[in-house]
Amino acid sequence: MPGFKLDTATAQRFNVNLSILFTELPLLERPAAAAAAGFTAVELWWPWVDSPTPERSELDALKKAIEDAGVQLTGLNFYAGQLPGPDRGALSIPGAESERFRANIDVAADFAASLGCKALNALYGNRVEGVDPAAQDALALENLVLAARAADRIGAVLLIEALNRPESPLYPLVSAPAAVGVVDKVNEATGLGNARFLMDLYHLSMNGEDLPSVIEEYAAKTGHVQIADNPGRGAPGTGSLPLEDLLDQLQKAGYDGWVGLEYKPGDRPSAEAFDWLPR
């Protein structure tokens, strides 16, 4: 229910993704709605799906909405095309999409810096018919190096995420090892060490991965965690994933960062989709 208060430990652990929750509201109203639901932190996909370089007035309006709501921006995606939708990232797609990603790098980094955001997520990009996958991978590494340097400039980490094959069949990073392998390549190429794995437990479960083993092996390389239940991508408790146990394992493995709530509210207002959290 709107207006309830989360306990302090919960509010300092979970942040809400405003690109999948509270979407029944205009973008500029969502930060205040998250605050009213008890959250102190939010994250976002790149909000302007058609523009990697929106007008300054649009950036300023979103910044003001976040500041006025009194919430912290803890994660932001670089431009990634249409999300949600068939497009999944842009940085490995030759031509216009890759150029749009490059144009967005400093815009996104500067916006994140203006709000103290320390995590930038770069979605890899679908495979393109008729293009050599090796050429796409080389382009991806080149662009990820640029993104890692921009993140380093503002004291942030660069996140690299695995998605799931059933929903994103053309996306090449559909396992934890594949995503972590790219993390390692970026860190080797830059020498900065600021590329990290975004561990999305929903996507990994959709790929049929052994989640306790993934946590055991990759918690030390994880820079952010996102959750949704499976099946359905709903709130914890709507599916069969033992999310409470998995998050406890993550904490015991040394992960002490934010956990992003990146799930669908179902057929109810988003403000009613948090009844699983302690109040």
pLDDT value, residue 1: 40
Per domain, the residue ranges of the chain are 8-272
The verdict on whether omega for the bond into residue 31 sits within 30 degrees of 0, i.e. cis, is no
**Total-model pTM:** 0.96
Give the amino acid at 193.
Answer: G
Residue 67, pLDDT above cutoff 50: yes
Residue 85, pLDDT above cutoff 70: no
**Taking residues 70-92, what's their average pLDDT?**
87
Structure confidence by residue, pLDDT tens digits, 100-150: 999 999 999 999 999 999 999 999 999 999 999 999 999 999 999 999 999
pLDDT value, residue 54: 98
**Pure H helices in the chain:** 8-11, 30-36, 56-69, 96-114, 133-153, 176-190, 201-206, 211-218, 243-252
Q: Is 254 exposed, middle or buried (0-12, 13-18, 19+ CB in 10 A)?
A: exposed
Q: Note if 55 is an active site residue.
A: no
pLDDT value, residue 4: 55
pLDDT value, residue 2: 45
Whether 75 and 47 have beta carbons less than 8 Å apart is answered as no
Residue 12, pLDDT above cutoff 90: no
pLDDT value, residue 10: 86
Tokens 């990009």 found at: 125
Q: Note if 262 is an active site residue.
A: yes
Q: How far apart are CA 170 and CA 168, in angstroms?
A: 6
Q: How many whole angstroms from its chain centre is CA 208?
A: 20
Structure confidence by residue, pLDDT tens digits, 247-267: 999 999 999 999 999 999 999
Crossing angle of helices 176-190 and 211-218, rounded to 10°: 10
User: What integer best gives the mean pLDDT of the chain?
Assistant: 95
**Taking residues 73-84, what's their average pLDDT?**
90
Residues in the chain: 279
CATH architecture group of domain 8-272: Alpha-Beta Barrel (3.20)
Whether 258 and 225 have beta carbons less than 8 Å apart is answered as yes
**Taking residues 145-172, what's their average pLDDT?**
96
Residue 210, pLDDT above cutoff 90: yes
In terms of Cα–Cα distance, which of 2, 77, 89, 8 is closest to 41? 8
41 Cβ contact partners less than 8 Å away, ≥ 6 residues apart: 11, 14, 15, 16, 71, 72, 73, 74, 258
Left (φ > 0), alpha (ψ -120 to 50) or beta: where does 116 sit?
left
Residue 172, pLDDT above cutoff 80: yes
Tokens 């998605």 found at: 163
Rg (CA), the chain: 18
- Would you place residue 196 in the very low, low, confident or very high pLDDT band (cuts 50, 70, 90)? very high
pLDDT value, residue 84: 65
pLDDT value, residue 166: 93
Single out the catalytic residue among 43, 97, 209, 262: 262
Left (φ > 0), alpha (ψ -120 to 50) or beta: where does 112 sit?
alpha
Single out the catalytic residue among 43, 97, 161, 209: 161
Residue 70, pLDDT above cutoff 50: yes
Query: Which position has the higher pLDDT, 133 or 9?
Result: 133
Structure confidence by residue, pLDDT tens digits, 17-54: 999 999 999 999 999 999 999 999 999 999 999 999 99
Say which range, 4-8, 11-15, 185-189, 226-230, has the weakest mean pLDDT: 4-8
pLDDT value, residue 82: 75
